[in-house]
A and B are shown apart, each in its own frame.
Chain A
């Protein structure tokens, strides 16, 4: 069974540009979560999508947005990139049932120069 897949693995962008990160969940999982892991800041929750709807949002500015498609895959968009957006972006998926574990992808390393 395929795990959570993220693309691209690495992304280099210039300050002010837009970045699009993609995530395919495990088959049967309807929930997708996005986390940012920046150096020294730990794992910060960004967004949670389930059944195509945004269910919860972390403390990030509106230039961080995303969506979930009918096949439950998801996209994270970061507009007007800033240097401090450089981080590892992790996607996770789970069923919607409380207490089930989230399975993580390998992440997308975003570098803003």
Chain B
């Protein structure tokens, strides 16, 4: 069985500050892990993915995430927040017999203050 827990449904940071969005996963098989971003009234856009290559994954818009098997974590970070980063972020896991089916976390709403 696979599941994702995102700690913190809302995160607020000042523009220029570090962004840290937390994601812990549970998987009975080697996981594939993803971060997606959703802007209001839009679909989901892939930020980055982990598929068992490098544990530090770089994505679009300056985001990166580190896969830590010992901690079953895949936290998303960005060194300096920008106003345009304000959106909802979803962590997801897939793998095993259900292949591409994604198991999503509940999402984290990121607010960026000027």
Contact = CB atoms under 8 A, between A and B. Distances in A.
B100 A31 contact: yes
B46 A107 contact: no
* Chain A interface, DSSP helix/strand/loop, else mixed: strand
Contacts of B34: 101
B10 interface: no
A96 B99 contact: yes
Contacts of B82: none
Interface string A3-17: 010000000000000
B51 to A, nearest CB: 4
Interface residues of A, number: 27
Interface stretch (B16-24, B73-81, B90-98): B90-98
Given A101-B34, A101-B49, A104-B43, A96 B104 contact: no
Contacts of A35: 102, 104
A72 interface: no
Contacts of B44: 90, 92, 104
B101 A33 contact: yes
A9 B25 CA distance: 33
A35 B41 CA distance: 15
B99 A33 contact: no
B92 to A, nearest CB: 8
Nearest to A44: B104
30 contacts: A4-B43, A33-B100, A33-B101, A33-B102, A35-B102, A43-B90, A45-B103, A48-B100, A48-B101, A56-B101, A90-B44, A94-B100, A95-B100, A96-B100, A97-B99, A98-B95, A98-B99, A98-B100, A99-B32, A99-B49, A99-B52, A99-B94, A101-B46, A102-B100, A104-B43, A104-B45, A105-B43, A106-B42, A106-B43, A107-B42
Interface of A: 4, 31, 33, 35, 42-43, 45, 48, 55-56, 90, 92, 94-107, 109
